[in-house]
Chain A
Amino acid sequence: MMPEMLSLSNSPGIFVGVMLVKLLAVFGVTIFIVAYATWWERKIIGHMQTRLGPMRTGWHGLLQPIADGLKLFFKEDLIPDQASKVPFLLAPLMILIPALITVAVIPFGPDLHIGNFLIPQQITDLNIGVLYIFAFTGLGVYGIVLAGWSSNSKYSLLGGIRATAQMISYELAAGLSIIAIFMLSETLSLREIVSLQQQDLWGVCSFVPNWYIFSQPLAFCLFFITGLAEINRTPFDMPEAESELVSGFCTEYSSMKYALFFMAEYANMTVISAITVTLFLGGWSAPLNIAIFTMVPGFVWLLAKVFALMFFIIWLRATFPRVRYDQLMFLGWKVMLPLALLNVLITGLVVVILQ
C-alpha cells in the first residue's frame, strides 16, 4: 500500500496529535533560541571587543537569559499617564506574534514514514508559503508604529515613524528579490523549494547541491540586506538609535512589555535567518551530497545554518556603525530597488533562453 500524506480527513486523531507535537517542538525550540540568542550576542560582541561578556550567572554566564527574564518579570509595569492605553498594551503582542507565526511554514526535514502515513516535518505546507511569510512580516510594522505613537513621547514617535518609512521602503526590494527565486522554482511552496535545491548543481556537478545562492547570488545579498533593514538590526537600527532617540519606539516601556520587544527582535532575527536558509541555502538539506553528510538528520543542518547566519548578523553589529537616515533611504530606493528589478529582468531572460 502506498503511504499517503497524513491529513485531517484520513485520520483526524493521529493528525491532531502529530500537529500538537510539531507545534510544541517548533515553538519550544524557537523560544529557546530566542532566549539564548541574547546570551550569544552578548558573548560574541564581548569577545569581539576583548571583553568576556556575561560571566557571573552559571558557567560562562549560561543562566544569564533566565536571570534577565526574572529581573524584567519582577520590575514594575508602568503605563505612562498620557499614553493611549489599548494600542500601548497591544503593541508588544503585535510585534511578537507575527514574528513567531512565520516559523510555521519552515520545513525542517524530509517526510517521515510512520505506518501507512507520510508525515511532513513542517507545521504546514502552504502552497502560498512565501507569500504567507511576506504577509506576516508586513504586519510586524504595526507593533512598532503603535508602540511609538501610543507612548505619547517625542522619541518614541520619531522611532515609530522612522520604522514605518524604513520597513515599507525595504519590503519592496525584499519582495522583488524573492521573485527571481520563484522564476527558477516555479512554486511558492517552501517544501518544494527545498527539495528542488537538493538536486545536482545546474544538473552537472553531482556533489554540490543546487542551492539558489549559486544561481542567484545578487538576490541573496539583496534579500539578506533588506531582511536586516526589516528587522531593524544594525546597521539599520534607526528606529531605536540609542545615541539620538534614547531607545526609540520602546522608550516608555518597562517590565515584561519591554521584554516582549526584546524577544520580538531576536525572534525576528531567528526567523529571517531561517527564511534565508530555506530560500537560498538549501533549507534542511546537507551542504554536500555525500553519504556522511546526508545521514545527519535535517533539523541539525537547518539549525547549523540558522546559527551560522545569526552569528553573521551579530558580527555585523560588532563591525558596522549605524547608517544615517538619508543614506538608508538612498540605499533602499536608489540602489536596492533598481538592482532587484535588474535581477528579475536578467533571471527572466536567462530562464526564457534556457527553455
Chain B
Amino acid sequence: MEIIFFYLVAFVVVVSGLLVILCKSPINCALGLVNTFFCLAIFYVMLHAPFMAAIQIMVYAGAIMVLILFVIMLLNLGTAERKRYTQGIVWSAVASLMVLANVIFFLKRGRVTGAEGDITTFMVESVGHTELIGRTMFTEFILPFEIASILLLVAIVGAVVLAKKEV
C-alpha cells in the first residue's frame, strides 16, 4: 500500500523536476519547482518527520518560491533562449550525472538511519518528532542554533542597508 503511494509520489516528483528544466516559460518552471517541494514534503511525512514536512511547505513552497515568482514577474522575462546555452546544458548534464552516480554509491554503501543510536524510529513515534527536534535544538545544539540566527540577522541588516539609499 505504502510502496504504491511512494511510487505515485515519486513519479510526480520526477515529472515536475523535469518540468523545472524543460519548460520554456520561467513561471511554469517555478511552478514545477513548487510542486517538487510539495512532493518532498509528502516524503518527509512518509519518513515520520511531519515537522520537517510542514516547515518544507512553509519555508520553501510558501515563502522562498513566492519571492522567486515575484522576481520573475517583475523582471518580465520572455521565454528563455535555449540555443545560446547549448554548451552549458551539455556540461551541466555531465556534472549532474556524476553527482547522481556519487549519491547512488553512498546510498548503497551506507546504513539506514533510525536502526541504531538514541533516536530510533520507535522513539520518534512515541515521543513525537516536533518535541525531539525542539529538545535537541535548544539543549545540545544551542550554539549552532544561535550562530545561525546571528547569521540571519546579519543578512537582514545587510538587505536593509542595500535597499535603503540613506541609512
Q: Report which A residues bind B (CB closer than 8 A).
A: 84, 86-87, 90, 126-128, 131-132, 134-136, 138-139, 141-142, 145-146, 149-150, 157, 160-161, 164, 168, 171, 188
Contacts and interface: CB of A to CB of B under 8 A. Distances in A.
B58 A87 contact: no
A168 B63 contact: yes
B54 interface: yes
Given A127-B128, A138-B62, A141-B66, A87 B28 contact: yes
A43 B53 CA distance: 42
Nearest to B34: A142
Interface string B18-61: 00000001011001001000000100000000110111011001
B66 A131 contact: no
Contacts of B41: 135
A135 B57 contact: yes
B27 A150 contact: yes
Contacts of A146: 27, 31, 69
Contact of A139 (B25, B50, B57, B74): B57
Contact of B62 (A84, A127, A139): A139
The 6 closest A-B pairs by CB, nearest first: A138-B62, A131-B54, A135-B57, A135-B58, A128-B50, A149-B73
B138 to A, nearest CB: 13
A131 B34 contact: no
Contacts of B25: 84
A132 B50 CA distance: 9
A149 B41 CA distance: 27
B149 interface: no
Given A84-B25, A87-B28, A139-B61, A145 B73 contact: yes
B58 A161 contact: no
A136 B129 CA distance: 20
A134 B27 contact: no
15 contacts: A86-B31, A87-B31, A90-B31, A127-B130, A128-B130, A134-B62, A135-B41, A135-B58, A138-B57, A139-B57, A142-B66, A146-B69, A161-B73, A168-B63, A168-B66
Contacts of A168: 63, 66-67
Contacts of A188: 130
A145 B70 contact: yes
Contacts of B66: 138, 141-142, 145, 164, 168
A135 B62 contact: yes
Contact of A134 (B58, B69, B74): B58
Contacts of B67: 168
Contact of B63 (A86, A126, A138): A138
Given A138-B58, A145-B70, A160-B73, 4 more contacts: A128-B54, A135-B62, A146-B27, A149-B27
Contacts of B54: 128, 131-132, 134-135
